[in-house]
Amino acid sequence: MVVFPPCKINLGLHILSKREDGYHNLETCFYPIPWTDILEIVRSDKFEFSFSGLLIPRNSEGNLCIRAYQLLKKEFEISAVKIHLHKIIPMGAGLGGGSSNAAYTLRLLNQIFELNISTHKLKELAAHLGSDCAFFIQDQPMIGSGRGEVLSPAAISLKGFFLVLVKPQVHVSTAEAYAGINLGQHSISISTILSQPIDQWKEKLSNDFEKSIFKKFPVIEQVKEKMYQMGATYVSMSGSGASVFAIFNKPVDYKNEFLGMDYWSGELK
């Protein structure tokens, strides 16, 4: 069976406090974007994992697809499978591609082995694999809190808008992103800001990672500034970077502006 794990963007990202377990409490809106990888899983006599496209870790510790299979096998004693991942979504981009692969592995295994695992249980399992993995269990915008694993539906739609995603050729690790932040004070919730017209987001909807990441990787800030110059209604870095997304009212000719970078564009449905 074949599925197409998507990526996500973050509409706002507030880092609220440091937790006793070493993680941070945050608030964000996860929004699914149809820039996808390709994941195939079939039953087999022995477990195999292969990949094509972008280079990814093969070992179980670094590969979330393998870890997702091992997690489900431990709890449900499923048989062996062959997994093939064609990797398209860039890594170190703040797009959650690895988390999406893990969540879709759980979803597909649930379907293949007819385990009838509830959505709630799948989210619990996904949360063991990464803070934003649980988001990818359902295909809809979500407000994320806690580490990002506490989810509630978000009343937001970008249908009809044109999105441009650009990733410069730099890699931002989550660890270095968190190392540079200053905990911010936010008087207005992201949900409240998103209920306002999109042309008001520029001054209100912020990503707390941008300040420190822009200092370390100026090219990311340059991409953001260029997108506003091109007429975007709203532009932000996604997650902990390095990708930047821009929301336009209509299609734009942008590829010559970002030569040598990874990019995706499309009208949102």
Instruction: Compute the distance between CA of residue 101 and CA of residue 90 in angstroms, rounded to an integer.
Output: 12
Catalytic residue among 8, 87, 123, 167: 8
Instruction: Compute the distance between CA of residue 31 and CA of residue 142 in angstroms, rounded to an integer.
Output: 7
Q: Is residue 209 within 8 Å of 179, Cβ to Cβ?
A: no
121 is catalytic: no
Classify burial at 38, counting beta carbons within 10 Å of its beta carbon; exposed 0-12, middle 13-18, buried 19 or more: middle
Instruction: Compute the distance between CA of residue 208 and CA of residue 190 in angstroms, rounded to an integer.
Output: 12
Catalytic residue among 37, 87, 123, 132: 132
216 is catalytic: no
Active site residues: 8, 132
